[in-house]
Structure 1
Amino acid sequence: MRKLILPLLFVFLFMLESIFVQYIPPGLFGLFGRNSIVVPHFLIVGILFLTIYGGRKKGILYAFIFGLLFDIVYTEILGIYLFLYPLVAYIVSKIMHVLQLNLFSTSLISLVGIALLELGVYELNFIIHITNLDFSSFLHLRFYPTLLFNAAFLLLACYPLQRIIEKYSGALRDE
Structure 2
Amino acid sequence: MIRLLLPALFVFLFILESLFVELLPAELFHSDRILVPHFLMAGILFLTAYLSPKHGILYGFIFGLLFDLVYTEIIGIYLFMFPVIAYLFAHMIKILQTNVLVVSILTLFGIALLELGVYEMMLLINITDLDFLTYVKIRLVPTIILNLAFIILAAYPFKKQFETIADRLSHD
* TM-score normalised over the length of structure 2: 0.97
Unaligned runs of 5+ in 1: none
8 Å contact 1:64–1:86 — kept in the other structure?
A: yes
The count of aligned residue pairs is 172
**What is the alpha-carbon distance in structure 2 between the residues aligned to residue 105 and residue 95 of structure 1?**
10
Q: Compute the RMSD of aligned alpha carbons.
A: 1.1
Letter of the structure 1 residue corresponding to residue 86 of structure 2: A
> Identical aligned pairs, as a percentage?
53
* TM-score normalised over the length of structure 1: 0.95
Letter of the structure 2 residue corresponding to residue 14 of structure 1: F
Letter of the structure 2 residue corresponding to residue 21 of structure 1: V
**What is the alpha-carbon distance in structure 1 between the residues aligned to residue 80 and residue 55 of structure 2?**
16
8 Å contact 1:6–1:169 — kept in the other structure?
A: no
**What is the alpha-carbon distance in structure 2 between the residues aligned to residue 65 and residue 41 of structure 1?**
15
> Aligned residue for 1:151?
148
8 Å contact 1:107–1:154 — kept in the other structure?
A: yes
Residue 28 of structure 1 deviates from its aligned partner by: 4.0
**What is the alpha-carbon distance in structure 2 between the residues aligned to residue 168 and residue 47 of structure 1?**
14
Residue 29 of structure 1 deviates from its aligned partner by: 4.8
Residue 5 of structure 1 deviates from its aligned partner by: 0.5
Letter of the structure 2 residue corresponding to residue 24 of structure 1: L
> Aligned residue for 1:109?
106
Alignment CA distance shift 1:42-1:4 (3 Å): same
**What is the alpha-carbon distance in structure 2 between the residues aligned to residue 172 and residue 38 of structure 1?**
36
Query: After TM superposition, where is structure 1 displaced by more than 6 Å over at least 4 residues in a row?
Result: none
**What is the alpha-carbon distance in structure 2 between the residues aligned to residue 105 and residue 65 of structure 1?**
26
Letter of the structure 2 residue corresponding to residue 163 of structure 1: K
The answer to whether structure 1 residue 169 and structure 2 residue 166 are counterparts is: yes
Q: 1:36 aligns with which of 30, 33, 36?
A: 33
Unaligned runs of 5+ in 2: none
**What is the alpha-carbon distance in structure 2 between the residues aligned to residue 15 and residue 153 of structure 1?**
15
Alignment map for 1:37-56 (pairs within 5 Å): 37-56=34-53
